[in-house]
Amino acid sequence: MALNKNHSLDFVSAFFVHGGTQIALLLWQPQQEPVYIFYIVAGLWGIGDAVIQTQINGKHTHTYIYIYIYIGGTSDHHRLNFLFLIHMFSI
């Protein structure tokens, strides 16, 4: 059973986390102490970037598979070539 989930909320929240981190870095004047802020900023940046990148890759893959199903492939060989092509361009 496939889950039919709207990923808009995930994408928008990651957009604000990632964008907010970048704005904070533009306005921030780093100090040597406290060191833990460097780790917090790096973690927020990584979470935002990972979620955005995953959502975009999933959306592209879903779109291309949708096109493939409705345009149609003639054999399993064409299907495997198509899926490999999608995988290579979504990385």
Q: What is the pLDDT of residues 29-60, one digit of tens each?
A: 878 878 888 899 889 999 888 888 888 877 77
The answer to whether 65 touches 87, Cβ cutoff 8 Å, is: no
Does residue 4 fall inside a structural domain?
Answer: no
Higher-pLDDT residue of 82 and 15 is 15
CA distance 54 to 16: 16
The domain in which residue 40 lies consists of 9-90
Does residue 2 fall inside a structural domain?
Answer: no
| Mean of all residue pLDDT scores within the chain | 76
Q: Structurally, how many domains does the chain consist of? A: 1
Q: Can you tell me whether residue 6 is helix, strand or coil? A: coil
Is it the case that residue 18 has pLDDT exceeding 90? no
The answer to whether 84 touches 46, Cβ cutoff 8 Å, is: no
Confidence of residue 26 (pLDDT cuts 50, 70, 90): very high
Does residue 31 fall inside a structural domain?
Answer: yes
Give this prediction's pTM. Answer: 0.58
Does residue 1 fall inside a structural domain?
Answer: no
Q: Could you tell me the end-to-end alpha-carbon distance of the chain, in angstroms, rounded to an integer?
A: 27
